[in-house]
Structure 1
Amino acid sequence: MSAIMDPATATTRTFVEATEVWVPKDGRLVWSSGNYGALDAFAAVSEEKSFGKGEGLPGKAWDEARPVVLKAFDGSYFQRAEAARAAGLTSAVAVPVFAGSELKAVVVVLCADDDQRTGAIEVWCEANGLLMLDDGYYGAARHFEWVSQHTHFPPGQGLPGGVWAANAPMLMRDLGSGYRFIRADSAGKAGLTTGLGLPIAVPGRQTYVLTLLSARGTPIARRFELWNARSSRSGAASEAALADGICQREGPLWNDEHERRVAAWQGPIGEVLGTGLPLVKYDTALLTAGYASMVALPIYRDGTLAHVVAWYY
Structure 2
Amino acid sequence: MSVIAPEVATRAFVEVTEVWVPDGDRLVWSSGNYGTLDTFAAVSAKQSFARGEGLPGRAWDEARPVVLKQFDGSYFQRAEAARAAGLTCAVAVPIFAGSALKAVIVVLCADDESRTGAIEVWRESDGLMMLDDGYYGAARHFEWVSQHTHFPRGQGLPGGVWAANAPMLMRDLGSGYRFIRAESAGRAGLTTGLGLPITVPGDRTYVLTLLSARGTPIAQRFELWNARAAGTAGAREAVLADGICQREGPLWDDENEARVAAWQGPIGEVLGTGIPAVKHDNPALTAGYASMVAVPIYRDGTISHVVAWYY
Q: TM-score range by the shorter chain?
A: over 0.9
Q: CA deviation at 1:253?
A: 2.2
1:151 aligns with 2:149: yes
- Whether the 8 Å contact between 2:6 and 2:247 is mirrored in structure 1 is no
Q: CA deviation at 1:292?
A: 1.8
How far apart, CA to CA, are the structure 1 residues paired with 2:93 and 2:28? 15
Structure 2 residue ranges without an equivalent (≥5): none
How far apart, CA to CA, are the structure 2 residues paired with 1:236 and 1:104? 16
Q: 1:184 aligns with which of 157, 167, 182?
A: 182
How far apart, CA to CA, are the structure 1 residues paired with 2:250 and 2:189? 20
AA in 2 matched with 1:18: V
- Whether the 8 Å contact between 1:231 and 1:237 is mirrored in structure 2 is no
SS class of match (2:178): coil
Matches within 5 A, 1:127-146: 127-146=125-144
Identical amino acids, percent of aligned pairs: 82
AA in 1 matched with 2:87: L
Q: 2:224 aligns with which of 223, 226, 237?
A: 226
AA in 2 matched with 1:298: P
Q: CA deviation at 1:289?
A: 3.0
AA in 2 matched with 1:117: R
Q: 2:287 aligns with which of 286, 289, 295?
A: 289
SS class of match (2:177): coil
Per the normalisation by structure 1, the TM-score is 0.94
Q: CA deviation at 1:226?
A: 0.2
Higher mean displacement: 288-297 or 84-93 = 288-297
Q: CA deviation at 1:287?
A: 7.0
Alignment correspondent of 2:121: 123
- Whether the 8 Å contact between 1:246 and 1:252 is mirrored in structure 2 is no
How far apart, CA to CA, are the structure 2 residues paired with 1:109 and 1:275? 21
Q: CA deviation at 1:237?
A: 1.5
Q: CA deviation at 1:8?
A: 5.3
How far apart, CA to CA, are the structure 2 residues paired with 1:101 and 1:114? 38
Q: CA deviation at 1:284?
A: 3.6
Q: CA deviation at 1:250?
A: 3.1
How far apart, CA to CA, are the structure 1 residues paired with 2:46 and 2:137? 29
Alignment correspondent of 1:67: 65
Per the normalisation by structure 2, the TM-score is 0.95
Matches within 5 A, 1:154-303: 154-230=152-228, 235-250=233-248, 253=251, 257-285=255-283, 289-303=287-301
Alignment correspondent of 1:98: 96
How far apart, CA to CA, are the structure 1 residues paired with 2:144 and 2:73? 25
Superposed CA deviations along residues 194-247 of structure 1, whole A, max 9, x for unmatched, are 000000000011000000000011000000000001499994221000000011
How far apart, CA to CA, are the structure 2 residues paired with 1:232 and 1:121? 30
How far apart, CA to CA, are the structure 2 residues paired with 1:53 and 1:133? 25
SS class of match (2:119): strand
Alignment correspondent of 2:87: 89
Q: 1:30 aligns with which of 28, 31, 43?
A: 28
- Whether the 8 Å contact between 2:282 and 2:291 is mirrored in structure 1 is no
Q: CA deviation at 1:56?
A: 0.3
SS class of match (2:16): strand
Q: 1:290 to 1:254 in 2, by over 3 A?
A: closer
- Whether the 8 Å contact between 1:245 and 1:252 is mirrored in structure 2 is no
- Whether the 8 Å contact between 1:243 and 1:254 is mirrored in structure 2 is no
Alignment correspondent of 1:3: none
Q: 1:254 to 1:179 in 2, by over 3 A?
A: farther
Q: 1:215 to 1:251 in 2, by over 3 A?
A: farther
How far apart, CA to CA, are the structure 2 residues paired with 1:23 and 1:83? 21
How far apart, CA to CA, are the structure 1 residues paired with 2:58 and 2:249? 38
How far apart, CA to CA, are the structure 2 residues paired with 1:220 and 1:163? 19
How far apart, CA to CA, are the structure 1 residues paired with 2:174 and 2:135? 19
- Whether the 8 Å contact between 1:230 and 1:238 is mirrored in structure 2 is no
- Whether the 8 Å contact between 1:42 and 1:84 is mirrored in structure 2 is yes
Q: CA deviation at 1:285?
A: 1.6
Superposed CA deviations along residues 67-124 of structure 1, whole A, max 9, x for unmatched, are 0000111111000000000000000000000000000000000000000000000000
- Whether the 8 Å contact between 1:23 and 1:32 is mirrored in structure 2 is yes
Q: CA deviation at 1:161?
A: 0.4
Alignment correspondent of 2:307: 309
Q: 1:52 aligns with which of 40, 50, 53?
A: 50
AA in 2 matched with 1:127: S
RMSD of aligned alpha carbons: 1.9
Q: CA deviation at 1:189?
A: 0.1
- Whether the 8 Å contact between 1:286 and 1:292 is mirrored in structure 2 is no
Alignment correspondent of 1:112: 110
Q: CA deviation at 1:12?
A: 2.5
| Count of residues paired in the alignment | 307
Structure 1 residue ranges without an equivalent (≥5): 1-5
